[in-house]
Amino acid sequence: MIWGILWYKHGMNKKGWWRKQGVWRGFLWVIGLSVGLALLSYAVVVRYDVVYRVHFAYVVALTEREEASEYKFDGYYALQATDLFAATLANWIQSPEVVAAAYERSGVKLPSTQAQRLIQFVRVEKAAPQLIRVSVKGVDRQEALVVAEALREEIVDRVAAYHEEGIPQLRFEAVADREWVSEDEVDARLVALAVFGLVSLFGVNGVLLWAATRSED
């Protein structure tokens, strides 16, 4: 947009305008700044460790129910009860106290003592009425695996306590599948290229706007 305005107002071929307003010198500064910031961002991103995520899922099932004479507990209500328990389980898994208990059980140092930051290391998605997807993040592969296993053990204990102290008519089972580990790594070259492009874009337009302002004085 600024390019078009300057083309119309001053003319890109107007003799001496670029040199007189110091535009080329400004462009050189912009290029130098863009290259410098791009290299700096590349160096910063490269230093970040690979982030590992341990993925596993729970399948929740109603395993036992007590027949009552007052009502008939048919398949629809069984599915609804399982869905509600799965929602409860998902909230348990990502609650700060459960995540902290899993780290304590695993022996791995807590990554943060702030609740909001701590729960970011565990992702939970209730993908279906009976399916819960879980991932545990860590900068060390083995530590992430240990924390994930401790979290699974903590959930087993929580479910057992729920059945002992909760509703006696229903019993649920949360079966976890085998875990697998993914690696998340930031592309440093892409970040550096993006920084170079953004700084160049705003820098060039800034220089041209500055030159146009000077030419009007």
pLDDT for res 186: 65
Using one digit for the tens of pLDDT, what is the confidence trace for 79-108? 788 888 899 899 999 899 999 999 999 999
Number of neighbouring beta carbons within 10 Å of residue 91: 12
Contact, 200 vs 35, CB < 8 A? no
What pLDDT, on a 0 to 100 scale, did the predictor assign at position 18? 52
User: Strand, helix or coil at 67?
Assistant: coil
Look up the pTM and report it. 0.62
Burial 109-124 (b: 16+ CB within 10 A, else e): eebeeeeeebbebbeb
- In order of 89, 105, 157, 197, the CA distances from 131 in angstroms are 10, 25, 19, 43
Q: What is the DSSP string of 180-213?
A: EEEEE---HHHHHHHHHHHHHHHHHHHHHHHHHH
Q: What pLDDT score was predicted for residue 2?
A: 46
**pLDDT score, position 190:** 77
Point out the residues of the chain with pLDDT beneath 70: 1-24, 46-49, 64-76, 166-169, 185-188, 211-217
Residue 8's pLDDT is 43
pLDDT of residue 1: 47
CA-CA-CA-CA dihedral for 136, 103, 96, 178, to nearest 10: 30
Measuring CA to CA, which residue among 131, 134, 60, 129 is closest to residue 95?
134
For the chain, the structural domain boundaries read 2-48+202-216, 51-184
CATH architecture of 51-184: 2-Layer Sandwich (3.30)
